[in-house]
Amino acid sequence: MSAPATDGRLASSPRLARLPGLGGAIDGTFLTLVIGAAILWFAPVGMGRYGTYVLSLWLVMSIAVMGLNLTLGYAGLKSLAQAAFMGLGAYTTALLTTKAGVSWYAAFALSGLLTFAVGIVLGFPALRVKAHYLAFVTLAFSTLIWLILRNEQWLTGGVFGISNINRPEFFGIKLFGALEFHRFVVAVTFILAVALWWLIRSPWGRAFTALRENPIRAASLGIDTRTYTLLAFAIGSAYAGFAGALYAPLVEFIDPSPFSLSQSFFLLLMVVAGGAGYLLGPFVGALLGVVLPEWLRFAGSLYLIIFAAIVMLLLIACPQGVSGLMERGWAKLTGKRGDAR
Amino acid sequence: MAEFIAYLIAGIATGAIYALAAIGFTLVWQTSQTINFAQGEFVMLPAVLVLLAIKLFGAPVWLGALIGIAAFILIFGVGFKLAVVDPMIRHGVLPLAIATMALSIIMKEGAKDGFSAEAQNFPSFVPTQTIEVFGAAISLQHLAIIACAFAVIGLLQWFVGGTRLGRQMQATAQNPTVARILGIPVERMVLLTFVINAALAVVASVLISPIYLAKFSNGEVIGLFAFIAAIVGGFNQVRGALVGGLLVGVVDSLAAAYVSSSYRLAVPLVLLVVIILLKPEGLMGRREERRV
């Protein structure tokens, strides 16, 4: 009599403990974003121009990786054009601000809109057929964009690129300094990350995940799969556009090389390294892909090989990436604590 | 006209190379659902390994070729299957596809750092002369590529359709479960397709490298065109990959000559998008049914 009762209590107590724990983990994501933004706001003090620049670059790449994470990690689509979308955003912003004299904010919005629209146009025919055709269409698009950036000298400056891209103002405060612009990047990244956090918790986000897990079952549950996959891809692409719009004034000079096909591959690897389907994964992935090579300068181009090899090992051992590893470790830790109790 | 013939022959020659890569690509896809994004690097690397073997061991060309080719087939045929595909395929198609992207970066950067960042001459087994046919200057190398590639593809078709082993392989590709019930060693058959894929890559590499020279970045364009060829022809058909490869090669060659040399890459890409829009299962392909 008493044995099942204790069994029941034993079984229910971890579940009780886990439920608020799970709720805490979701809020924890938001809290981490807030704390992370606060730390990054003050972090570069005393780091010098270059250190600040690397931190800003990390955040800008994180935005692009976040978008790709939505496409790949939540909706399960392979996009091989994230760097090309980023290039589209960067060139749009650079051209509009330097040649047409449009304000950065308008250019930023237009970059996002344009990449969103191109995402719809590319995704519509590809997703009509089959999800993995998107990979091939984006592959083609990536190469086309790179060709245009390189060949249309009158517009893009060809291999010489566009230089003297101005940084924006914020209500009369000039953001020309590395620290001021870094804080601006922190704010924009924070807003975009929270928007994504909200999106993924909303019924929309649930629908995206349902698509990744089982598209046919999702369809049978009444989810309009084509619209949702298309939207996930277009929003993911718009994030690349936003990232590009920040990248151009950050670096103040753009040329076609950072927007090539291999860069798109690299962004995909960052998503996987950080943990596809984890909201904070992209920050980890971009840290490994962007910041670490800056610190490990002595490794030179060998770093790319090391990074790719690490990603392959991660894929074999733990396809959920570093975030998955951390979650596993955390579960083990808390599990042990439960045993001790 | 003479010019046109010359471009056509050149297009068929490069098309045959794309076809070799595309056939390997579809074979591997059929038997193990592996989308190999490193396929272009697979064609780039054998030539680099051969030159590396010649340089390291001071070996004569034939011995260097033997060492390089054997090493490539061992590592990227057998090793690729056992060390990359096997442990990863249980996680699904997507992680494996991404792993092949990582592999392509490793191969490309490895060739750049371990061998050379510059293009290197690769020995040709055919004289670099041209002959006159109907007033058109046609390179002997192109003719040799076409002859060799078609011989290899013919051999492969005979193997797949005409031998017991080949038919077992085909059965594995079409329905692994039934093949296993019939007593076919499915795992060994899958491994065999990876070895064939590596061997096709070696043939393509040895044929194209005397013209393109051995360079770490060669795989980018070849890989891209092999994909396009595989999709245009039909993702699940060896015959389709052959037709797709030749078509892409000819279109590319003619586009470079008559449209624009700086946008030559774009024309096959447009072809790809048109095919996806109009006939998504490819020119020769069958529709694949969906599974829940």
Q: What is the pLDDT of residue A320?
A: 81
* Torsion angle defined by CA atoms of residues A126, A127, A130 and A133, in that order, rounded to the nearest 10 degrees: 30
Tell me chain A's radius of gyration from C-alpha atoms.
Answer: 22
Mean pLDDT of B18-45: 92
pLDDT band at A26 (very low <50, low <70, confident <90, very high): low
Burial group, residue B268, by CB count within 10 angstroms (0-12, 13-18, 19+): buried
* A22: pLDDT strictly greater than 70: no
Residue bearing tokens 């076609």: A256
Contacting residues of B for A304, CB less than 8 Å apart: 105, 109
pLDDT the model gives residue B291: 43
The per-residue pLDDT for A24 is 44
* Chain B residues near residue A72 by CB distance under 8 angstroms: 94
What Å distances lie between residue B262 and A41, A150, A153, A235, B223, CA to CA? 45, 9, 12, 32, 19
Phi, psi of B229 (to 5 degrees): -60, -45
Whether residue A110 has pLDDT greater than 90:
yes
> Contact B266/A214, CB-based, under 8 Å?
no
pLDDT-based confidence at residue B208 (cuts at 50, 70, 90): very high
pLDDT of A245 over the 90 cut: yes
**How much is the pLDDT for A131?**
65
**Over the Cα atoms of chain B, what is R_g?**
19
Q: Which of A118, A212, A304 to mutate to test the interface with B (most CBs of B within 10 A)?
A: A304
**pLDDT tens digits for A212-230?**
777 788 778 877 778 888 8
CA B106, B107, B108, B114 dihedral sign is positive
Tell me which chain B residues have a C-beta less than 8 angstroms from the C-beta of A137: 272-273, 276
Q: Inspect the interface and report whether the beta carbons of B266 and A309 lie closer than 8 Å.
A: no
- Is A258 a residue whose pLDDT tops 70? yes
A261 touches chain B (CB under 8 A): yes
ipTM higher than 0.90? no
What's the rounded Cα separation, in Å, for the pair A291 and B283?
Answer: 46
Please give the pLDDT value at position B16. Answer: 96
Min CA distance, B270 vs chain A (Å)?
A: 8
Query: Is pLDDT above 50 for A87?
Result: yes
pLDDT band at B114 (very low <50, low <70, confident <90, very high): confident
CB burial of residue B1 (10 Å; 0-12, 13-18, 19+): exposed
Mean pLDDT, to the nearest integer, of B226-238?
A: 83
Distances (CA, A) of A106 to A62, A109, A196, A239, A305: 22, 5, 21, 16, 39
CB within 8 Å of A29: residues ≥ 6 apart: A197, A279, A280
How many other CB atoms sit within 10 Å of the CB of residue B245? 31
pLDDT attached to residue A119: 94
Q: At A10, is the pLDDT very low, low, confident or very high (cuts 50, 70, 90)? A: very low
A106 touches chain B (CB under 8 A): no
Pairs of residues, one from chain A and one from chain B, whose beta carbons lie less than 8 Å apart: 108
Chain A residue with CA closest to B292: the answer is A216
The tens digit of pLDDT for each residue in B209-231 reads 998 888 998 888 899 899 889 98
Percent of chain A residues past pLDDT 90, beyond the cut:
31
Q: Of B91, B102, B276, which has the smallest distance from its Cβ to A129's Cβ?
A: B276
Per-residue pLDDT band at A93 (split at 50, 70, 90): very high
Angstroms from B137 CA to nearest CA on chain A = 31
Q: What is the pLDDT of residues A162-201, one digit of tens each?
A: 988 888 877 777 777 888 889 999 999 999 999 999 898 8
Amino acid at B236: N
Q: How far apart are the first and last CA of chain B?
A: 54
When the pLDDT of each residue in chain B is averaged and rounded to a whole number, the result is 88
pLDDT (0 to 100) of residue A56? 92
At A88, the amino acid letter reads L
Q: Mind telling me how many Å the CA of B185 is from chain A's nearest CA?
A: 25
Q: Which residues of B touch A (CB under 8 A)?
A: 35, 37, 84, 87-88, 91, 93-99, 101-106, 108-110, 112-113, 220, 224, 227-228, 231, 262-263, 265-266, 269, 272-273, 276-277, 280, 290, 292
A 277-336 residues inside an 8 A Cβ radius of B: 301-302, 304-305, 308-309, 311-312, 315-316, 319
Between chains, do B272 and A136 touch, taking CB under 8 Å as contact? yes
pLDDT of A129: 67
Q: Rounded to whole angstroms, what are the CA distances from B242 to A109, A154, B226, B282?
A: 46, 40, 10, 12
> Which residues sit opposite A253 in a β-bridge?
A163
Residues of chain A in contact with residue B105, where contact means CB-CB under 8 angstroms, are: 262, 265-266, 269, 304-305, 308
Q: Which of B99, B269, B292 sits opposite A144 (nearest CB)?
A: B269
- B32-82 confidence digits (pLDDT tens): 888 899 999 999 999 999 999 998 888 888 898 999 999 999 999 999 999
Residues of chain A neighbouring B290 (CB-CB closer than 8 A): 216
Chain A CB contacts of B106 below 8 Å:
305, 308-309, 312
Task: Quote the pLDDT of residue A339.
Answer: 41
CA distance A36 to chain B (A): 29
